[in-house]
Amino acid sequence: MGSSHPNKMIDISVIIPCFRSPNNLSNYIKSISDELISLKKNYEIILINDYDNDKDKTWENLRLIKKNYKNIRIEKLVSNCGQQIATIAGISISKGKYILTVDDDGQHNPKYFREMFRLIQNNDLIIAKLQKRKINFKRKFGTFIVNKISRKIFKNLPNNFGFSSYRLVRGSLAREITKFNTQNPVLGFELLQICPKVRNITINHQKRINGKSTYSLLKLIKYFHQLVYTYSNFYQHVTMYFAFLFALLSFLFATNLIYSFMMGHEYKAGYLTTAILLTTLFSINFIILNILVNYTSSIKKISEKKSRFVFYK
């Protein structure tokens, strides 16, 4: 099953990060392979096992799948790095003119490959916008947050632009991001920095092969922090706004105190002086916090030399 075409240029590299993948992942791989063969594309499929504690069941499953295909490559990371970095690890060893990324849960239907290939001819990056998504409120809220943040950072994106891990990108551009030093990358945002021509394709969301999503509220919070800390100045702005707010309150309270004193009103230390002291202290604290946030952000960018992933040998 499948053909590697060793003497021909690879048209497409399919990258699939795998974490506790379902046992019937092979059926999904077959549907991907069949679709690419029907499109007469030379291809490779790269399965990256994002190391987990399932006692290597995922790895054994991938080894069984590889036996049925000549053009499948399987690699295992030495530690659990997460979907984003696992996908980038796959990109780093890819050889295709184009790179297609999909999830291992079977929710990205291969029938849209043809249209994605048609669109990529005049673009650099095609991202699937998933319709009729069978997801819970947490996932919907997470998607909403990602879309809001992306439009703040990338001003040229349309208001209804959507994100997903189902994407097709020019290989020469995608492999450039493997040179970046971002320690907590979000692949979609990394690609948007180097792909000037970007387009959505609207598709229907398929049902998972089996099992359930591991997406949780804690992961949503971590993902939000990862986005705003890595790709925006959100925290710097928030601390500066609070510093300004408390400084303004302190000024107003002090002005009220001075006015009362000048008008000859009897003055007694109490709530007003306490408010002045507290707002002044809060203002100073937020100014210091703003300086620290900016400093740590600068240090982070300078010191990001650590390898993001290591393949198991």
Q: How crowded is residue 271: how many other Cβ atoms within 10 Å of its Cβ?
A: 9
Pairing relation of β-strands 198-204 and 12-18?
unpaired
Lowest mean per-residue pLDDT among 109-113, 115-119, 308-312: 308-312
Give the bridge partners for 99, in sequence order.
13, 169
Six-digit token string for 268:
């007694």
CB proximity list for 213: less than 8 A, separation 6 or greater: 105, 135, 136, 139
Residue with tokens 């394709």: 201
- CA–CA dist 12, 30 (Å, integer): 16
- The answer to whether 134 and 215 have CB atoms below 8 angstroms apart is no
Pairing relation of β-strands 12-18 and 72-76?
unpaired
Six-digit token string for 280:
């002044």
Its pTM stands at 0.74
pLDDT of residue 142: 66
Model pLDDT for residues 207-266, shown as the tens digit of each residue: 766 656 555 666 667 767 777 777 777 777 777 888 888 888 888 877 877 777 777 666
Model pLDDT for residues 143-191, shown as the tens digit of each residue: 677 777 777 777 777 778 888 899 999 999 999 999 887 878 889 989 9
In DSSP notation, 122-172 reads T-SEEEEEEES----HHHHHHHHHHHHHHHHH-TTS-TT----S-EEEEHH
Phi, psi at 242, each rounded to 5°? -70, -40
Six-digit token string for 213:
């999503």
For residues 163-184, one letter each, b for 16 or more C-beta atoms within 10 angstroms of the residue's C-beta and e for the rest, the string is bbbbbbbbbeebbbbbeeebbb
CATH of 12-231, one of 3.20.140.10, 3.90.550.10, 3.10.620.30, 3.30.70.1400: 3.90.550.10
pLDDT of residue 262: 77
pLDDT band at 30 (very low <50, low <70, confident <90, very high): very high
Q: How crowded is residue 137: how many other Cβ atoms within 10 Å of its Cβ?
A: 8
Does residue 250 sit in helix, strand or coil?
helix
- CA–CA dist 47, 9 (Å, integer): 20
In the chain, where the domains are located: 12-231, 234-303
Half-sphere exposure of 285 (CA within 13 A, CB side): 8
Six-digit token string for 191:
């690609």
- CA–CA dist 110, 168 (Å, integer): 12
Cα-atom radius of gyration of the chain, to the nearest Å?
25
Mean pLDDT within 16-32 = 89
Residue with tokens 């997801």: 135
- CA–CA dist 101, 233 (Å, integer): 29
